[in-house]
Structure 1
Amino acid sequence: MLYERLQELIKKSNKSMNQIERELGYPRNTISSYKRQNPSTKRLDELAEYFNVSVDYLLGRENIQNSDYSDEENELIAAFRMEREDMTPDEQVKFNKAVKDLMKYAKERLNDDSIWKK
């Protein structure tokens, strides 16, 4: 999945694979080697940043690119992931439910002008 995603992003960039490797300071054929082997975490992060997508997008764990989100949404996603980082799977389930409940509560409060006037 990784290599296919990279091919797609390279095509969208209108650059060659070799050009991108040069810009990133990678040896020639580094990206094509990802057909057979996985890159290091550092390289995954660099590639995600270069293409402005998440590592999860590169790995095929999600289908929405970061560029589909606003900067504010990306900040919220990053904060959400950071808070969940050290949680057990059971804690993550509880946390997800709490966040969803909090979002519903926040949405209900949107029309209460007394909260927002200060």
Structure 2
Amino acid sequence: MTKAIIGIANFKDTHNELLDIAARLDSGERLPDADYQLNFATASQLFSEITPKRLELLDALKRTGPQSVYRLAKTLRRNYSNVHSSVVGLLGLGLIAKDANDKVYVPWDDVEIHVSLSRSIAA
């Protein structure tokens, strides 16, 4: 099962994790397949990118499957240009993808959001 995990992490922790992974790879260790990690520095940054409308779009797309942006706008009963803008943002974040027919879809079995206020404050 592949997941997209969205959360909060500071640069120092992320840097240290990447150095650890690099050292393990350099030593020849084969690492297991990993989930997609999308981290933000603060909760406010996370929620400015992952808005309620974008969450609604992700949910609808996950339930209904691949479709054109036009069809998605109709499904959501939202203005096409607003849905298109959200799609572009979510594509940029790696949370949705386009297939060969230019239809958008959620490439993950699940999408999780982890928010810890103590991490947000520490960052």
Pick the structure with more strand per residue. Answer: 2
- Relative to the length of structure 2, the TM-score reads 0.31
Q: Which structure shows the higher helix fraction? A: 1
Q: TM-score, normalised by structure 1?
A: 0.32
Greater relative contact order (Cα 8 A, min sep 6): structure 1 or 2? 2
